[in-house]
């Protein structure tokens, strides 16, 4: 394996043209997979030196643009009131452990697309855009179209996730991320990201191979539990070492109810 | 997969080291086998257990999830860099005095984690301590004494 640490995106695009080259962001998933022998890339292209991938900026339309190399700890430290960015910040606070949050990045998490990861769920609920760039230009993909399957995304060869763009969400809406895991910091058995005002928009994660998006859900307890039961009945939850499909179906309605109840505490009419 | 080695310079506990290691070598590999700094332990080797925790520029890091080649200019602090030759650090003393060490395998990771916590918050409460320690596993399950040691230190008990 060879290792390159280009200083610019243009150099990174060139380095990624090699056979079986992969981006190295924070390394908190990729290096673990290398240590376990699950992947052995021919080339790693470290994104650590590329300034263009850093920084968090408020866009003119009120969206927050979060550079791909922004760490979970940096997102967790955001003090924002708009529901979309607030959802991301809350989510970042429960990703893994302090040492992982110090170096793991939002771009890395998005590109890795672990079905049990936290960010993809929140990004789908927030109607975020994933910005990806290559030598041939930049495109923005809706988060709900970006996650395609188990560790599968819309990224093409030699494309780099450069940022995520998080819209503010409806005025006065609140946000919450509810995660069920056996131990704090573990991956989710199931999780629900919610943006809620008069109605709720939800991302459901950990539950299936990709995040599921629901919108226009009524916010009474009955309506939320019913939406959860309907989704449980119509979906194919994962059946794996973390939990059975039956267990996931069972916990989903209550997770949805809790996420929206918590989100509404932060909402203003 | 090529095993070609590459040269890099690591700053560990204030000293510069020139190391020659495969590009896929983790910082933990290089610390233990290249530099003989065996205080950082290899427990799970995929980021879950915390026994390999070090500081990178003062921030907690899993040395098993950090490639040595990717450390660059960041300064590494290992358990060997925490205390002087003859004396323990305050965190280490607190752990000893509370009987918070059983087999000791996880202890370097806990010391590093608590050192980082106390550097930014000299008087953490119990919940803060527990949250900070959430990424370190003790297979002897000696968590109660470890949290007590940190609470003693937070309360100024020496």
Closest Cα to residue B29, out of B13, B18, B40? Answer: B40
Closest alpha carbon within chain B to A3: B23
pLDDT digits (tens, 9 = 90+) for A114-163: 999 999 999 999 999 999 999 999 999 999 999 999 999 999 989 999 99
Per-chain mean pLDDT for chain A: 96
The number of residues making up chain B comes to: 158
Is domain B5-81 given the CATH code 3.40.225.10 in the classification?
no
Domain B90-154 homologous superfamily, CATH:
[2Fe-2S]-binding domain (1.10.150.120)
pLDDT digits (tens, 9 = 90+) for A154-201: 999 899 999 999 999 999 999 999 999 988 889 999 999 999 999 999
Residues of A in contact with B53 (CB under 8 A): 99
Q: Does A184 reach chain B within 8 Å, measured CB to CB?
A: yes
Q: Does B33 reach chain A within 8 Å, measured CB to CB?
A: no
Contact A49, A6 (CB under 8 A): yes
ipTM of the prediction: 0.94
The number of residues making up chain A comes to: 269
User: Would you say residue B158 has pLDDT above 60?
Assistant: no
Confidence of residue B157 (pLDDT cuts 50, 70, 90): very low
Report how far Cα A237 is from the mean position of its chain's Cα atoms.
Answer: 19
**Within 10 Å of residue B48's Cβ, how many Cβ atoms?**
20
- Among A71, A99, A103, A185, most B C-beta atoms within 10 A, so best to mutate, is A99
From residue B13, alpha-carbon distances to A100, A221, B109 in Å are 21, 55, 16
**Within 10 Å of residue A141's Cβ, how many Cβ atoms?**
17
User: Would you say residue B156 has pLDDT above 70?
Assistant: no
Structural domain boundaries in chain B: 5-81, 90-154
Nearest-angstrom CA–CA distance, A229 and A41: 42
- Token pair of B13, please? 């506990």
In the CATH hierarchy, which fold is given to the domain comprising A174-265?
Answer: Enolase-like; domain 1 (3.30.390)
Nearest-angstrom CA–CA distance, A189 and A241: 10
The CA-based angle B1-B7-B10, given to 5 degrees, is 120
Closest Cα to residue B136, out of B37, B60, B27, B68? Answer: B60
User: Would you say residue A40 has pLDDT above 80?
Assistant: yes
pLDDT digits (tens, 9 = 90+) for A56-103: 998 888 899 999 999 999 999 999 989 999 999 999 999 999 999 999
Q: How many A×B Cβ pairs under 8 Å? A: 95
In the CATH hierarchy, which fold is given to the domain comprising A1-47?
Answer: 3.30.43
Q: What is the pTM of this model?
A: 0.95
């Amino acid at each position: 394996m060879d290792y390159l640490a280009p200083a610019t995106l243009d150099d990174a695009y060139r380095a990624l043209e090699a056979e079986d080259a992969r981006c190295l962001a924070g390394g908190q998933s990729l290096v673990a997979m290398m240590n376990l022998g699950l992947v052995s890339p021919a080339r790693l292209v470290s994104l650590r030196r590329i300034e263009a991938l850093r920084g968090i900026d408020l866009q003119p339309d009120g969206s927050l643009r979060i550079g791909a190399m922004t760490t979970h700890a940096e997102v967790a430290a955001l003090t924002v009131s708009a529901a979309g960015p607030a959802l991301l910040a809350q989510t970042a606070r429960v990703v893994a452990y302090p040492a992982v949050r110090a170096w793991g990045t939002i771009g890395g998490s998005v590109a890795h697309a672990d079905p049990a990861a936290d960010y993809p769920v929140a990004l789908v609920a927030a109607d975020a855009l994933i910005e990806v760039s290559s030598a041939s230009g930049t495109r923005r993909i809706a988060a709900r179209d970006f996650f395609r399957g188990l560790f599968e995304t819309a990224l093409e060869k030699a494309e780099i996730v450069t940022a995520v763009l998080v819209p503010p969400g409806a005025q006065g809406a609140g946000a919450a991320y509810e995660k069920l895991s056996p131990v704090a910091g573990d991956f989710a058995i199931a999780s629900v990201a919610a943006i809620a005002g008069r109605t709720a928009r939800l991302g459901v994660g950990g539950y299936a191979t990709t995040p599921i998006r629901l919108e226009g859900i009524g916010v009474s307890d009955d309506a939320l539990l019913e939406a959860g039961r309907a989704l449980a009945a119509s979906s194919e939850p994962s059946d794996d070492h973390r939990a059975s499909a039956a267990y996931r179906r069972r916990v989903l309605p209550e997770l949805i109810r809790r996420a929206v109840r918590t989100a509404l505490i932060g909402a203003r009419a | 997969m090529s095993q070609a080695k590459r040269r890099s310079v690591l700053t560990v506990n204030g000293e510069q080291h020139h190391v020659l290691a495969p590009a896929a070598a983790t910082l933990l590999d290089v610390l233990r086998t290249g530099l003989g700094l065996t205080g950082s332990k290899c427990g799970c080797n995929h980021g879950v257990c915390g026994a390999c925790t070090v500081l990178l520029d003062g921030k907690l890091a899993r040395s098993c999830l950090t490639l040595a080649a990717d450390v660059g200019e960041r300064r590494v602090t290992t358990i060997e860099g925490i205390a002087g030759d003859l004396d323990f650090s305050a965190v280490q003393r607190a752990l000893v005095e509370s009987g918070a060490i059983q087999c000791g395998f996880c202890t370097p990771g806990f010391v590093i984690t608590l050192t980082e916590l106390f550097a930014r918050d000299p008087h953490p409460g119990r919940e803060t301590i527990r949250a900070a320690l959430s990424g370190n596993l003790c297979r002897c399950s000696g968590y109660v004494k470890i949290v007590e040691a940190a609470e003693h230190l937070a309360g100024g008990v020496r």
